[in-house]
Structure 1
Amino acid sequence: MRTRGGVLVANIIAGLALGFVVANIGFGDYAELNRMFTFQDLRMLLAFGGGVAMVVVVFALIRVRRSPGRIHAGVIPGAVLFGTGWAVSGGCPAIPIVQVGTGYLPALVTIVGIVVGVKVCRWVNARYLHLDVGSCER
């Protein structure tokens, strides 16, 4: 039986290992992200594509089946906002943490932006949109 403490330690170790790898292959570098988004260097884009391909193969091998369903109303606007923020700031939610860990302190602005953005999104949803997002926040 796993304990919460053991799972927490395993998650911390896995997160540190991922951060180390991401920082050392250059994926935490704003210039590298910019080259990907402007299609000047496809290395990072191909790495993402390779990761998706590996997940597809593993899911096929372990026979994960999921019937296609209706797309949640927040997926498209959320994806647009996420992609825009990523392109502008040079980081999805995990990358700024890696950037701060490597000494790039301007990434703190991105982290603050992520926190504020989540709070504003929740407020707008509660006040105006009323989308059912309870299952997504667990």
Structure 2
Amino acid sequence: MRNFSYLLVGTFFGIVLYKSEAASWFRIYEMFQFDAFHMYGIIGSAVVLGILFVQWVKRSKAKSFKGNDITISEKKKTFVANAIGGILFGLGWALAGACPGPMYTLVGAGFLPVLIVLLGALLGTFVYGLLKSKLPH
């Protein structure tokens, strides 16, 4: 039953991405050209909602779907690692015209060439998993 709720949330998220045009290559291109506010508005809304949700979880001692306490641990603040990761993510996003969430949405909408991009993202994640222990912390 829990997996079904995840499927419903994921389907809803995909519909929102598609209807808001967040999965549109044209909208992403507009954003990187600084031609339109559309994507910045979506991303800004997500950041604000994320901040509010994290603060709510921290202050209300919220429980997970399983009934366990939700813990949000502090992350290491490593500028170099974040800068390199951000640059790689941004380059991939600009080249592919989609970040990970919209890739699934685009495949679901019938844009099958995105499967190549999705395969590349999965391969990159796999390679990172292999190299993670060898990377400086």
- For the pair 1:115 / 2:115, whether they are aligned, the reply is no
Identity of aligned residues (%): 25
- Aligned match of 1:48 in 36, 43, 47? 43
Structure 1: tracts of 5 or more residues without a match: 1-5, 132-138
TM-score by length of 1: 0.76
- How has the CA–CA distance of structure 1 residues 79 and 26 changed in structure 2, closer, same or farther, with 3 Å as cutoff? same
1:60-118 Cα shifts (integer Å, max 9, x gaps): 45537x79663146333222211111111111112111111111111111101101111
Structure 1 letter corresponding to 2:47:
V
**Where does 1:27-66 land on structure 2 (aligned, <5 Å)?**
27-61=22-56, 63=59
Q: For residues 18 and 82 of structure 1, what CA distance do their matches in structure 2 show?
A: 21
Where in structure 2 are the equivalents of 1:1-138 lying within 5 Å?
Answer: 6-61=1-56, 63=59, 70-72=76-78, 74-126=81-133, 128-129=134-135, 131=137
TM-score (norm 2): 0.76
Q: Which amino acid aligns with 2:11?
A: L
Out of 92-101 and 69-78, give the one that drifted further: 69-78
Aligned counterparts of 1:48 and 1:8: Cα–Cα separation in 2: 27
| Equivalent-residue separation in structure 2 for 1:12 and 1:96 (angstroms) | 16
Q: What is the letter of the counterpart of residue 108 of structure 2?
A: G
Q: What are structure 2's unaligned runs of at least 5 residues?
A: 61-71
- Aligned residue pairs, count: 125
Whole-Å separation in 1 of the counterparts to 2:56 and 2:126: 39
